[in-house]
Amino acid sequence: MRINRNTLPLLRGRWNFVRTFVAAGLAAALFAPAVRAQDKPAPDVVVFKNGDQLTGTLERGAGDSIVFKSDAVGEVTIPMDKVKELRSGSSFVVLKKDEKITSTPKEPVHLAVEDGAVKESSSNGATQTVASKDVAYIVDGATYNKELNGHPGFFKGWDGSATGGITILQSTSYGQTYTAGLSLIRAIPTVAYLPPRSRTTFNLLETYGKLTQPTVPQTNPATPDAVAKTNIFHTDFEHDKYFSSQFYMLGNLMFDHNYSQGLNFQQIYGVGAGYTVFSNPVHQLDVKADVHYERQNFIQYDDPTLLSTPNQDLIGSTFAENYRRLLPGKIALTESGTFIQSWNNTDAWSAIGGLGLALPVYHRLSLSVNFLDNYLNNPPIGYKKNSLQYVTGVTYTFH
């Protein structure tokens, strides 16, 4: 390659560009670890009263204890009266036991634990000391703001359980009975220490059975087998909008089918109000009422000689209560009662009662026992008013 005077400046320019690019790359490689080290916050350190130390991250607190996560021992719960000193570089919100929690956000502050007391340091330099016996919760600022003001998508935040059961009979008589249930709840916020904003519930229960009984002894000509069917279906959906920590407005719908009572399809669409009488980790009681439109479709006979019960369009109200309680051994008790009254036909009323127990067996699996009583005051001719179910199954709880 021949180099003349005209190409020399061009070559010098390209060489200077390459040299600058390589120098910048080397500088970035040398200084990047140092920059990352500066960005990484210093770990939190707990100093115990006996002189031991633990390095890690303060995650949260509840009552007179804190939850601390360390690479050495994992997540541990530490009583504050055993802590001599703890300082954290993160920001937290401290909620007191006697504090009235509102939807107004609180400023996250830096805190320290010294000799069993929590010391808050706000951005303006003010400090406050809270005795450990007065602390309800310690929440990191990001979680607090997300729970207080966040608006998660519809498919996020659901908890609940799924239940299934099966009975199979194989002999002269043969048949099967299947039971399936789904119970979902979505409470916003998802934590107990903040006032509720909304709650959505969805429940579904299906019991289907078929029992075939051959004629014994068989006749000539042959007599058809006797077949008994069971098909009971219920589902409901409700959305609650809270205006205080206890009072809320609601919108709901309910669908029912009960072959045993001649009810082909019942549908209810309503609006109303509810009130949480009390709510704590042990038990909760809600009462509610609505005004709704109701449509009752009964089984209709094709044979004109048989009297069919006419279908009805009703305006009515639902009065309901729901109670849940956590019993010893983590046994969950649920109880509900619903009374549905029609105002344009006072004889067209119904009631639903339920009682259930979920007994933990292994991790998220439980044995469930449920009693369900459906009462329909105006069934078709020949059908009983009451339908009682005893259902057992295996329940899986998911979070």
Q: Are 359 and 326 in contact (CB under 8 A)?
A: no
Mean pLDDT across the stretch 122-144?
A: 83
Cβ of 58: how many Cβ atoms within 10 Å?
25
At 14 the pLDDT is 53
Portion of the chain with pLDDT greater than 90, in percent: 41
Residues contacting 309, CB < 8 A, separation 6+: 262, 298, 378, 379, 380, 381
Domain 159-398: CATH superfamily, name plus number: monomeric porin ompg (2.40.160.40)
**What's the Cα-to-Cα distance from 122 to each of 58, 111, 145, rounded to whole Å?**
18, 9, 16
The pLDDT score that the predictor gives to residue 3 is 47
Q: In three state form, how does the secondary structure of 5-26 look?
A: CCCHHHHHHHHHHHHHHHHHHH
Q: What distances in angstroms separate CA 148 from CA 99, 202, 290, one per listed residue?
A: 16, 24, 29
Q: How high is the pLDDT of residue 1? A: 47
pLDDT computed for residue 29 by the predictor: 53
Judge whether residue 234 has pLDDT over 70.
Answer: yes
pLDDT at 131: 85
pLDDT bracket for residue 128 (50, 70, 90): confident
Cβ pair 277, 285 in contact under 8 A: yes
Q: What is the pLDDT of residue 395?
A: 92
Contact 321, 347 (CB under 8 A): no
Q: Rounded mean pLDDT of 130-157?
A: 82
Residue 268 · residue 253 · CB < 8 Å: yes
Neighbours of 202 (CB within 10 A): 16
Q: Domain locations in the chain?
A: 44-149, 159-398
Please give the backbone phi and psi of residue 52, each rounded to the nearest 5 degrees, phi first.
-70, 155
Name the pairing type of β-strands 159-170 and 386-398.
Answer: antiparallel
Pair type for strands 53-62 and 44-48: antiparallel
pLDDT of residue 271 exceeding 60? yes
Contact predicate 152/188, CB 8 Å: yes
Confidence of residue 308 (pLDDT cuts 50, 70, 90): confident
How confident is the model over 170-225, as pLDDT tens digits?
A: 988 899 999 999 999 999 888 877 888 899 999 999 999 999 999 888 888 888 88
Return the pLDDT at 284. Answer: 94
| Rounded Cα gap, residues 324 and 183, in angstroms | 14
Percent of the residues in the chain that have a pLDDT greater than 70, as a whole number: 89
Q: What is the pTM (predicted TM-score) of this model?
A: 0.75
Give the residue-averaged pLDDT of 141-155: 79
pLDDT in tens, 44-79: 888 888 888 888 989 888 888 888 998 888 888 889
SS3 28: helix
**Mean pLDDT, range 321-341, rounded to an integer:** 94
Residue 360 confidence class, pLDDT cut points 50, 70, 90: very high
Average the pLDDT over 132-144 and give the result.
85
Distance CA 288, CA 284 (A): 13
pLDDT for position 11: 47
Mean pLDDT over 125-131 rounds to 83
